[in-house]
Structure 1
Amino acid sequence: MIILLFAFIILFITVLQAFTPKFLKPTEAFGIYVPDQYTLEPTIVRLKKRYTGVVLMSGLIALAGYLFWALTQNPVEETLVLLGVGVQFVTLFISIGYYFIMHVRVKKLKKEQGWLTGKNEVRVVDVQFQQKLHLLPRVMFIIPMIVTVSLIIYTYMKYPEIPDMIPTHWGLSGQPDAFSEKTYFISIALPLMLLVLQGMFLMMSEGMKFSGARINPANKKTSLTQQLAFRKYTSWFALFISVSMTLMFGYFHLQTIHPEIGSAWITFSIPVTFLVAVFLAVAIYAVKVGQSGSRIKVDDSSPSLEDKVAIDEDRYWKGGMFYFNKEDPSIMVEKRFGVGWTLNFAHPVSWIVLIVPLLLIFGITFLL
């Protein structure tokens, strides 16, 4: 069962990374802005296919090697898990490394062919964009946080009944394999960590409201419609993850107060179910929505304007992945490679948003 679980994770990561170029806007290739007239340039099409082939093949070879080793050597559980995680990192490193190779090639191609020569760079702004957004209301993300706070209150009410040794880690078999002596902090550590994660999803939803829209001047209506849809579906996706985490963490926490509700099978199956559900949600989100809603079909399209292109912001994207723009008030921006959002690292608040939750999570984990 453990082998199948890790095989599924490795296969999912491989396929998602390999086909990432297909989920992106046509006007972005390996972190480089591509004007509409060059999106079907043969070299770009060839590089995308090559990236998919290399990443897919290397991932499948790594998966086959892992399965062969696991089935022939009969390793212990700890070694099986350790190598399984290692293979996941290897597939990620291969895809990221090959991405940077493709990034350099597209950047060079853009310069050699002069894609922006003679073009008018314009920025399209919709002053009513925020009013047109259909994001989930803030309260939808606050409700799971209220549930978590209620769990903390309930824990303190039941504190005398909690066992003296509290499980803090569960093995893949579903049995607890690490314990900490009961204290008031240890007893609520899991809900506190959950509260931090829920707060991150709330900030993500709020950040989308104030993130500037990158509207394509060559196809304004389509681009605007896709941008609005992308943020709406991202909001639903974030809520799904937040609620799913609340259910999973909530069960594990209640199990420490009421051990009788737990069993090894349930303890094992809940994280697996959560993992499969999240992976399926990510797959649906990537395939149906795509980055910036690029895979959402729009019937009403505006005519292409051959002499106008979007503002070239390549200089703000370091390696096509990390965004630094002091002039942009947005804290969150859409990724250029991958589906989702990243931070504007030139904005001081972005570092607070990034570092504070990480410090809180690491601090809680360290004190367990």
Structure 2
Amino acid sequence: MGTQKRYASLDSRTRVPIVATSKYIIVYLIAVVSELIITFAFYDKIPNQIPTHFDALMNPNQFTEKSLSTVLFMPLIQTVMLIIFIVCNEMMKASKIQISSSNPKDSLKINEEVRLTNSKLLFNLFILMQLIFFTVQMMTCFNIRNLRYVMLAILCLTIGYVIVYILMLLKVRKGHSYRIVENKSAWKFGFLYYNKDDVAYIVQKRSGLGYTLNFARYQSWLITLAFILLMLVIVFLGNKFS
């Protein structure tokens, strides 16, 4: 049996193409600062009972008392989401770069293209979510019923964008001969990656669409625990302010 060759690009890690973190912060600041300015400029116009839950057609069906904490709930959630998105974006940069021994240049190129496409998707989804949060803030605080149509339009746009994104990634992958070299025994139940011999804790999914964690590494468990805690905080805050 021949020895399998491995290739490494010394500058591949430093030139990993992802959306800059500063862009996330700028979008977040524009959305949240705008919300806060409008909310407190017209605070006396906010009704004493503000909606906290909507049905499928964006009609309010649950209400709570107006307070400083309730009108600041949405900006708080946006802050948590900013942290989550930035961490996910940086995780893409830290994920393992797989280079094929048979075609190293092509495999490195597709790694960069897929990584950049994923990063752009994440950023565009972040923009759409900030628009959703901004619209919800205006709907809940000022009872502007016509905004429900804007909300439905943004949700449809988000779903459509995800579909387009998946098609874009598939097109990028089909345009190259490179295929992911995988250790099938490391994929438990077909979707959980557990490989003690792999030093990377973030790897590409078997489908090539997105990334997953190597649960043989302690960093993966810390990341999972951190996300679980964040979700619990969001649920706790939602129950407290609703």
Residue 168 of structure 1 and its aligned partner are, at CA, apart by 0.8
Alpha carbons 1:331, 1:350 under 8 Å: kept:
no
**Using a 3 Å threshold, how does the CA distance of structure 1 residues 225 and 188 change in structure 2: closer, same or farther?**
same
1:351 aligns with 2:224: yes
Counterpart Cα distance in 2 of 1:224 and 1:203: 23
> CA offsets, 1:128-187, max 9 Å, x none?
112332222111111222234425643456544432211111223332111112232222
* Preserved contact between residue 335 and residue 341 of structure 1 (Cα < 8 Å): yes
Match of 1:294 in 2: 173
Question: What is the alpha-carbon distance in structure 1 between the residues aligned to residue 57 and residue 209 of structure 2?
Answer: 33
Residue 335 and residue 223 in structure 1: after superposition, are their counterparts in 2 closer, same or farther (change >3 A)?
same
Deviating above 6 A after TM superposition, structure 1's stretches of 4 or more consecutive aligned residues are none
Aligned length: 236
Give the distance between the partners of 1:250 and 1:188, measured in 2 at CA. Answer: 12
CA distance in 2, matches of 1:168, 1:221: 53
Which amino acid letter does the alignment assign opposite residue 166 of structure 2? Answer: A
What are the ranges of 5 or more consecutive residues in structure 2 without an aligned counterpart? none
Q: 1:141 pairs with 18, 24, 28, which one?
A: 24
Corresponding position of 1:317? 187
| CA distance in structure 2 between the partners assigned to 1:271 and 1:326 by the alignment | 45
Whole-Å separation in 1 of the counterparts to 2:137 and 2:166? 32
1:128 alignment partner, SS class: coil
TM-score by length of 2: 0.83
The verdict on how the C-alpha distance between 1:220 and 1:283 changes in structure 2, with shifts beyond 3 A counting, is same
- Structure with bigger gyration radius: 1
Map Cα deviations across residues 271-305 of structure 1 (whole Å, 9 max, x no partner).
332232223222222222229x413x25xx79xxx
Residue in 2 that maps onto 1:266: 147
Amino acid at match of 2:214: N
Query: What is the Cα-based RMSD across aligned positions, in Å?
Result: 2.8
Q: Secondary structure at the match of 1:294?
A: helix
Match of 1:128 among 3, 7, 11: 11
Q: Distance in 2 between matches of 1:183 and 1:119?
A: 71
CA gap of 1:335–1:353, structure 2 versus 1, over 3 A, is: farther
> Cα 1:316–1:122, aligned 2, differ >3 Å: closer, same or farther?
farther
More helix by share: 1
User: 1:73 aligns to what?
Assistant: none
CA 1:188–1:332: 2 relative to 1, 3 Å: farther
Counterpart of 1:142, as a letter, is I
Q: How does 1:1-368 map to 2 (within 5 A)?
A: 118=1, 120-151=3-34, 153-154=36-37, 155=39, 158-259=42-143, 262-263=144-145, 265-267=146-148, 269-290=149-170, 293-295=172-174, 297-298=175-176, 310=181, 313-325=183-195, 328=198, 330-337=200-207, 339-345=209-215, 346=217, 347=219, 348-367=221-240, 368=242
Percent identity over the alignment is 25
Does the 8 Å contact 1:321/1:337 carry over to 2? no
